[in-house]
Chains A and B, each alone.
Chain A
């Protein structure tokens, strides 16, 4: 299994998000005051500062906004992955997340901007939290 860094706690803003990941849910927030989609998770709305946020569950599908295939990384847990694609994915619900797009072949030719992708909760050797990554649909 992969050995990606785990989220660290106590960290109040993202705890509910990661609890969701454990249950196979990709959670995000919307603001009850200005209706904007709030992501990364925070205690207050990043647009209007309101503290009245609602947690929702994403369908987990989105589009690759941009990506880069990393060839050189000194971080433990990534060296053994070989070349891997870091990407921003725009989820259909209107939030953008940093993630990895996994493909079976060469990521430099198989990952593309505009590609439709779906979330997958990848189990880790590094700890109890799976990591949400994406694969082309």
Chain B
């Protein structure tokens, strides 16, 4: 096999899907029987991880809000993100401050509206080719140099601040032969602020429990020294049709080709990490390390 295409699309916004605030229904299963009576929404699962992270490590709302602020800054430079926010009738299609995040409405404590990704329509595609094909294509190729995947479950006595990224990250970095401190840009599924914080820790960008300090100095923006996050605006401010993994790969590729609307000069190494399912309960992690020539 020499060429493969991966594509994804959804009309989550047009179809008015309540991704974060609806319940999961279905036939009788041991899981629905034990969980459905309690009204735990998708968002409250992530919120419970944030609550525990703040309790266990002293992480603050102000620190985590920097994730929303940086991604919005990137979104405002991306015409497609601005169009999406406008079409979805965001109250304020503009840069936001930490105070804006802290003053936004609580959806499931301690997660506020501006810490939650949007629900939009969207789609994308990526073409994967064998190395000998890549040499002859029109666009500059970007190389996949490491991958890892993992699944994690709710467990008795387990630490819910540790995600599947703790298992998917190390094999990806080992295969790539690089370390987190060599990475220029991180595309991390920002379903919620806490998702980014937990995954940054688990991928090794900082120690467990220190993501608050790591993101709290505002360096995630593309024009600040240090690791840059989600330069398309992320799920928080550019698009989120339900699953965001493909968009992480697309923006990482744009960066490594020098085509992003918030370009990091000379970006050579990127990590894309997707988190699916319910953080803190059954969820998955997929890590991809990408490199420019």
Contact = CB atoms under 8 A, between A and B. Distances in A.
B37 interface: yes
A104 to B, nearest CB: 18
Interface stretch (B43-51, B84-92, B132-140): B43-51
A88 B30 contact: no
Contacts of B109: 68-69, 71, 108
A121 to B, nearest CB: 12
Contacts of A94: 156-157
Given A39-B156, A75-B22, A94-B156, A99 B38 contact: yes
Contacts, number: 134
B226 to A, nearest CB: 30
Interface residues of B, number: 43
A68 B48 contact: yes
A108 B48 CA distance: 13
B27 A69 contact: no
A74 B18 contact: yes
A72 B108 contact: yes
A58 interface: no
A10 to B, nearest CB: 7
Contacts of A9: 28
A71 B47 CA distance: 12
A67 B156 contact: no
B33 A11 contact: yes
A97 to B, nearest CB: 7
A5 interface: yes
Interface in B13-40: 18, 21-23, 27-40
Given A86-B38, A94-B157, A96-B154, A65 B33 contact: no
A67 B51 contact: yes
A9 B27 CA distance: 9
B45 to A, nearest CB: 8
Contact of B107 (A40, A41, A72, A95): A72
Given A8-B32, A70-B41, A88 B157 contact: no
Given A40-B34, A73-B21, A68 B108 contact: yes
A11 B108 contact: no
Given A40-B31, A69-B109, A72-B107, A86 B48 contact: yes
B87 to A, nearest CB: 22
B111 interface: yes
B24 to A, nearest CB: 9
Given A5-B23, A11-B28, A70-B108, 7 more contacts: A13-B33, A67-B48, A70-B40, A74-B23, A77-B39, A97-B34, A108-B106
14 contacts: A7-B34, A8-B32, A11-B28, A11-B33, A66-B48, A66-B55, A69-B106, A70-B41, A71-B109, A75-B23, A77-B39, A78-B23, A95-B156, A113-B55
Interface of B: 18, 21-23, 27-41, 43-45, 47-49, 51-52, 55, 105-111, 154-158, 160, 280-281
Shortest beta-carbon contacts, A-B, top 5: A68-B47, A8-B28, A75-B23, A13-B30, A66-B52
